[in-house]
Amino acid sequence: MVVYLALAIVATPAAAGPQAPVIWAFGDSLTAGYGLPPEQGFTTRLQAALRRSGVAATVRNGGVAGDTAAQARARLRWGLRGPGSPPDLVIVELGANDMLRGLPVAQARANLDAILTDLQARHIPVLIAGMRAAPNLGTHYVTAFEAMYPALAKAHHAPLYPFFLAGVAGNRALIQPDGLHPNARGVEIIVARMVPAVRTALRSRR
């Protein structure tokens, strides 16, 4: 009887600890890891950096190269069905392709607002990753585009990481030959800069 009791105790599963958070990087080629092998892409490197910092997160890649905010909006609900359960945090990194194509800022803003509204309705926390506009688009466009991100963050009470390419943009040593996308070294810098914001966003989730 004692033996059976001991075996039963050993076989009883330990109480589960807190579930490891799932992060969905929902964006364009920058989150997709364009031009890089998967192990050097943004989501893989962010996951590794978070785990080194003590956060056992899984970071899923929701980036599609070339996506505008409108195209991302069209695939949002389909993409959320993929993981099965809602992510604990969505990094929304969009707008760069709208800017590169010179699409109206009001159009990009309306689509980003719809994405954020949908995520908010599902009670999914968000970290907005901002973008800067190319200066050749003119002062009016640049000002309106760059003001879009803080305005959306304020309207949706969401944290904002002001510039996804901070520390990398303009440095040829950190950019691929296309002049647009970070190379492996650039990704490491982006990740290192973003980790504190991601950790804070995870801590503040409901």
Residues annotated as catalytic are 29, 178, 181
Other Cβ atoms less than 10 A from the Cβ of 71: the count is 15
d(CA 148, CA 71): 18
Look at the alpha carbons of 80, 199, 64, 27 in this order and tell me if their dihedral is positive or negative.
positive
DSSP 38-59: GGGSHHHHHHHHHHHTT---EE
Map residue 39 onto helix, strand or coil: helix
Rounded to the nearest 5°, which phi and psi values hold at 128? -90, 130
**Which residue is associated with the tokens 């599609």?**
64
